[in-house]
Amino acid sequence: MVLSIIIILSLLFLIFNYYISDNDFLAPSIVFILMFLVQSVMCLIATSYLNITFNMEVLIILLISYLIFTIFNVYNAVILKKTTNVVAGIKTATSRKLYFLPLSSSVSWIINGLSVLLIYSNYKFLQRLSNAYGGTRSLSEMISLYDRLTKFRPEVYRSLGVHRPFYYTALSLLVLAGSYLTIYILVNNFIVNKKINWLQMLTAVLLIIEMYFSGSRSPIFRVITFVAFLYYIFSIRNGLQHRERQKIFSKFLRWGIVLTIVFLSTLSLYGRSNSYSLFHYFFIYVGAPLWNLDTFIQTHSLPQMTQAFGEQTFIAFHNSFLRSGFLLDLPFVKANAAYGLGNVYTTFYQFLHDFGWLGLVPLVTIIVWYYSGSYRKILMTKNEPVIDFRLFVYAYLINDLIMLFFSNRFYETILQKNTIRLFIVAYLISSILFEQAIKIGPLKISFRKQR
């Protein structure tokens, strides 16, 4: 009964927000509500073989979150209607076509060369790790070993004493920033002239190969959502007609189906096996987290005892800046003796774990405040022949909005030291390449030659 109400409620909020946002299917409220609607439908399908029941607490959590997203969405709609021009049915302040962004081929060659070096270094590192753990393995087995040790047995991983080369951290940060900027330019210029720069495309391919060695598909998925969001926004800024947005939505649906098939068919590349049906394996990722959240609420007192303020919610900050060494408290859940449900509980799990019900509204509001405010400003931004860094950051973080149905990705990402470093390095590179100056508030350092 509660599950049916969740589905109906999600559908009603989705339709209302879609109408309020002028049929903008990538408005933050639409993305958030849609993902939880998909979760709910997956749970409904899974009732054909699992005894799935929901309690009112999950319904209340979703209702509160939907209301917060909807309030900000209504505010955005009012502000956009008052302050911007209506261009092709989308409310945006764009007054001219998108600019072509030139990138020197020498810069691309440098990034690509460094990427190859990092891929080789990663491969040798995995070999050393495999040997230290007891013998040689295939590439997929080495990747799986690294993934298991770092996620579930970090103390064993540290005890092996296998490290990457001294230059790896700094170089990988530089390459990651340069590669994301290259992809930004690649998508921008494709929208402008419908041509692909294959040297820049090689940069994207090498980045994905490098991410493959990490053992996780999440970084690759982030690149995909980064590209998709930029494609949509650049199309709008280049004069996308209102009716053509539906064509982009159709493209995204097709891409989503293809990506789902690829996701399910590449397990062996990561050295993973699956004893379940393909549906249940997919359900563990999309569906089970919501049910796991309900199970957690019903079986635990809230909030849980922690060693530090926001230990689980702000774990990235504690471990990255304070070196606390906390581990995520994510026990695996089983539906019965035959079916496991994974160990993810949506983003709300950490909020309730650390702060109980009192933390729900402020923590969700912060998320909505960032995504709604930034999205509004992105739609209102005029085209300039430079990197729109607000758009760059938002396109990077759109993945965390999508993945809120899965885990606490937003706070884990923005409070991670490496994320902040990435944005700083990317900002410095883009400022030097396209503005020949670095601006920090009122301070401006110019690299242009004075005449």
- Tokens read off for 150: 């770092």
Terminal CA-CA length for the chain: 75
Nearest to 293 by CA among 337, 328, 341, 326: 341
Contact 226, 399 (CB under 8 A): yes
On the question of pLDDT at 317 being above 60, the answer is yes
- Residue 178: closest CA among 110, 117, 228: 110
Instruction: Report the pLDDT value the prediction gives residue 441, as an integer from 0 to 100.
Output: 65
- Give tens-digit pLDDT for 352-391: 999 999 999 999 999 999 999 999 999 888 888 889 999 9
Overall average pLDDT of the 9-13 stretch: 97
Q: Could you tell me the pLDDT band of residue 178, with boundaries at 50, 70 and 90? A: very high
Contacts for 240-249 with beta carbons within 8 Å, 24 or more apart?
240/88, 240/90, 241/88, 241/89, 242/23, 242/88, 242/89, 242/90, 243/89, 244/88, 245/23, 245/24, 245/25, 245/89, 245/90, 249/25
Is 92's pLDDT higher than 50? no
C-alpha distances (whole Å) from 128 to each of 115, 117, 153, 210 are 20, 17, 17, 17
The answer on pLDDT for 84 being more than 70 is no
The pair phi, psi for residue 98, each rounded to 5°, is -65, 145
Q: Which residue has the higher pLDDT, 95 or 351?
A: 351
- Pairing assessment for the beta strands 437-440 and 443-446 based on DSSP bridges: antiparallel
- Give, in order, the Cα–Cα distances in Å from 420 to each of 380, 416, 426: 25, 7, 10
16 with 74: CB under 8 angstroms?
no
Question: Is the pLDDT assigned to residue 90 strictly greater than 50?
Answer: no
Identify the band that residue 89 occupies on the pLDDT scale cut at 50, 70 and 90. Answer: very low
Contacts of 126 (CB under 8 A, 6+ apart): 139, 142, 143, 145, 146, 213
Q: Which residues of 116-144 are buried (b: 16+ CB within 10 A; e: fewer)?
A: ebbbebbeebbeebbeebeeebeebebbb
Each residue of 385-426: pLDDT tens digit? 889 999 999 999 999 999 999 999 999 999 999 999 999 999
pLDDT at res. 449? 60
Task: Give me the half-sphere count of Cα atoms (radius 13 Å) on the Cβ side of residue 275.
Answer: 4
| Cis before 219? omega within 30 | no
CB 320, CB 416: distance < 8 Å: yes
Q: Looking at the whole model, is its pTM more than 0.85?
A: yes
CA 181 from centre of chain:
17
Q: What is the model's pLDDT at position 447? A: 65
Would you state the pLDDT for residue 448? 65
Nearest to 400 by CA among 382, 380, 374, 426: 374
Dump pLDDT digits (tens) for 189-212.
Answer: 999 999 999 999 999 999 999 998
CA nearest to 240, candidates 391, 387, 90:
90
Q: Which residues contact 417 (CB under 8 A, 6 or more apart)?
A: 320, 321
Q: What is the pLDDT of residue 228?
A: 95
Taking the CA atoms of the chain, what radius of gyration do you get in angstroms? 23
Query: Is 340 in a helix, a strand, or coil?
Result: strand
Burial class (CB in 10 A: 0-12, 13-18, 19+), 350: buried
What are the residues facing 440 on neighbouring strands? 443
Using an 8 Å Cβ cutoff, are 447 and 437 in contact?
Answer: yes
SS3 445: strand
Instruction: Tell me the per-residue pLDDT of 256-289, one tens digit each, with 9 for 90 and over.
Output: 888 888 887 777 777 676 777 888 988 999 999 9
Q: List 444's β-bridge partners, or say none.
A: 439
Predicted local confidence at residue 158, as pLDDT? 87
Question: Is the CB of residue 204 less than 8 Å from the CB of residue 220?
Answer: no
Which residues pair with residue 437 across a beta bridge? 446
Contact status, residue 362 vs residue 312, Cβ threshold 8 Å: no
**What number of other Cβ atoms are within 10 A of residue 271's Cβ?**
19
450 versus 234: the higher-pLDDT residue is: 234
pLDDT tens per residue across span 18-67: 999 988 999 999 999 999 999 999 999 999 999 999 999 999 999 999 99
